[in-house]
Amino acid sequence: MKPANTTMAALGTTVFEVMSRLAIEHGSINLGQGFPDEDGPADVRRVAADALMDGPNQYPPMAGLPELRRAIAAHARRFYGLDYDWENEIVVTSGATEALADCLLGLLDPGDEVVLLEPLYDSYPPIVERSGATPRYVSLSPPDWRLPVEALEAAFGPKTRMILLNTPMNPAAKAFRRDELEAVARLCVEHDAICLCDEVYEHLLFDGLRHIPIAGLPGMRERTLRIGSAGKIFSLTGWKVGWIEGPAELMGAVAKTHQFVTFTTAPNLQKAVAHGLGKEDGYFAGLAAALQAKRDRLSAGLDRAGFGVLPSEGTYFVSADVRPLGFDGGDEAFCRTITREAGVTAVPVSAFFRRGKVDHLARFCFCKRDATLDEASGRLRAYFGG
Ligand code: PMP
Ligand code: GLN
């Protein structure tokens, strides 16, 4: 038999699935994979449930229900003053994961280079490689994960077609500052490169930080694709409803990719997300405030257990240095050990690196009930004798 595609056949199972399975096997508290343990707003779920019974239940338009595309355009205008034409500049996808694949497969050619900043979400490299393009990695370093501008400049060259940016960034929990985004924008303009910006955590920012979409910087609207996810905004990760906003010139090929990857997304969920995006400002602010309190709660618990807790400016993750606990066997072994022996699961930050050497950090997810966070902290403290 002929072998499978070399890029895909060589892949392991994603770290999120591996650690979640391990958590189930050991009955541990799963603070690994990122998902809330309480479902998002009842009114949003009610719209989905009613639409399931009342319809429509047949194929929606390929680019998404008009009411959802209008709501996505209104959301970008309301929060960032960005203007997108809902008919030609927005495509609804089955999650941000599909949106990323549509953009990468729709825009890249063999021979192109793509600048990837690590730590990174693990779907990026294989899809870049599958498109035939070559990743050029730039590593960020803890604890502040500042953009290394010189290394970034060195990664850009005549073959650079795209940079893939993620802000707020998973798992670094970092929000890129305006000066960092300006450096990225300058390089994109100089090299006529596309910026694919994964902004799924756009509403999960803490301590008064404001999300800055790079599409709003001078010269960037015409070369930026902005990706969003209802899973994060409404704490409904299993729904897998995402979207892409971008200039019509780039969206044509992206939409054609979407039409042959999934074609469309469940109409009842689209209707419900359209409703959700229209919620009052207080909903979005309340989500961030609630998560900020959970970040503080878990960070304090990890600190008491003896971890070196890193700052978390956004997302629903906090990373912690395991070396102060006397553990120097690497973060993957650490995460497996605490799953088995302390009854708490985290994911190793090294899984988000392809080139850089960071293997002393464990990433914990804090979008869980307070009692769950307290129990996890208590178990870790008991285990490490804090
Ligand atoms: N990008 C990042 C940075 C993520 O952390 C995730 C995962 N939750 C996704 C994309 C995928 O989002 P979705 O579940 O909407 O596919
Ligand atoms: N993005 C989520 C995380 O970082 C997980 C997504 C997934 O499981 N594919 O935990």
Q: Is 192 exposed, middle or buried (0-12, 13-18, 19+ CB in 10 A)?
A: exposed
In angstroms, rounded to a whole number, what is the distance separating the alpha carbons of residues 90 and 243?
7
Ligand minimally distant from the alpha carbon of residue 314: 1
Q: Which domains does the chain have, with CATH numbers?
A: 6-40+282-384 (3.90.1150.10), 42-279 (3.40.640.10)
Q: Which tens digit of pLDDT belongs to each residue from 83-109?
A: 999 999 999 999 999 999 999 999 999
pLDDT tens per residue, range 148-178:
999 999 999 999 999 999 999 999 999 999 9
Tell me the mean pLDDT in the region 264-274: 98
Q: What pLDDT band is residue 285 in, cutting at 50, 70 and 90?
A: very high
In eight-state DSSP terms, residue 59 is P
**Is the CB of 170 within 6 Å of ligand 2?**
yes
pTM of this prediction?
A: 0.97
Protein residue whose Cα sits closest to atom 1 of ligand 2: 34
pLDDT at position 3 over 90: no
pLDDT at 386: 62
Q: Could you tell me if 20 and 34 are in contact, meaning their C-beta atoms sit under 8 angstroms apart? A: no
With 0-12 / 13-18 / 19 or more C-beta atoms within 10 angstroms meaning exposed / middle / buried, residue 272 is: buried
Q: How many CB atoms lie within 10 A of CB 178?
A: 12
pLDDT confidence of residue 1: 83
- From 5-9, 128-132, 158-162, the region with the lowest mean pLDDT: 5-9
Q: How far, in Å, from the CA of 213 to the mean position of ligand 2? A: 22
Average pLDDT for residues 63-69, to the nearest whole number? 98
Top mutation candidate among 198, 200, 225, 240 for ligand 1, by most atoms within 8 Å of CB: 200
The strand order across the sheet containing 308-309 reads 308-309, 317-321, 361-365, 347-348
CB of 33 within 6 A of ligand 2: the answer is yes
Q: Is 119 in the pocket of ligand 1 (CB under 6 A)?
A: no
Average pLDDT over residues 349-360: 94
CA distance 347 to 15: 7
Q: Is 231 in the pocket of ligand 1 (CB under 6 A)?
A: yes
